[in-house]
Amino acid sequence: MNKIAETLRTFEFFENIGDEELNFIAERLDEIEFPAGSTIIKEGDDADSMFILIDGEIDVLRTTPFGDEYLCATLLAEFHCTFGEMAMIDKDKRSATIKAKTNCKCLEVKAKDFNGFCKIYPAAGVELLKIIAINMARNLRNENENLRLVYQALIEEIEQI
């Protein structure tokens, strides 16, 4: 098992994936370094890849309707996070900006490699897609709850007038 495969083995994302499949993925990934303060992905950009954060801290930012960026979350490599899955799956635009808060190392998974992997190892592809779908469902439930809270605040604000 090469060094990248050993790193991936520690990720919950790959917990149901065998060593052969993990090596196949690992051989197709490049380690990319992002210096602190640099932009890893930009909201609105076209994209077809996801990232695996293997070192450092990242900020997840969104833009308000007035053009201001606000911080949604800070993610640490020790929590074994992945990001950008949505654009890899639907090949639509990035839904958030990700900036390196510290010097970061990431692995980029391109859609063509992911789809190639699913063709060769479909059972492992099912496992990865289930995790991606579960993560998306969690984000969707969070967004529903955020929408409910902001909606409630809006109604209270209107009634106060």
Interface residues with a second copy (CB under 8 A) are 62, 64-66, 86, 89-90, 92, 95, 118-119, 122-123, 125-126, 129-130, 132-134, 136-141, 143-144, 146-155, 157-158, 160-161
Q: Minimum CB separation from a second copy for residue 92, in Å?
A: 7
Q: Which is nearer to a second copy, 36 or 154 (CB)?
A: 154
Q: Which is nearer to a second copy, 76 or 129 (CB)?
A: 129
Q: Minimum CB separation from a second copy for residue 2, in Å?
A: 25
Q: Minimum CB separation from a second copy for residue 155, in Å?
A: 7
Checking 109-112 for CB contacts under 8 A at 24+ apart, the result is: 109/25, 109/29, 109/49, 109/50, 109/51, 109/52, 110/48, 110/49, 111/48, 111/49, 112/48
Q: Which is nearer to a second copy, 46 or 65 (CB)?
A: 65
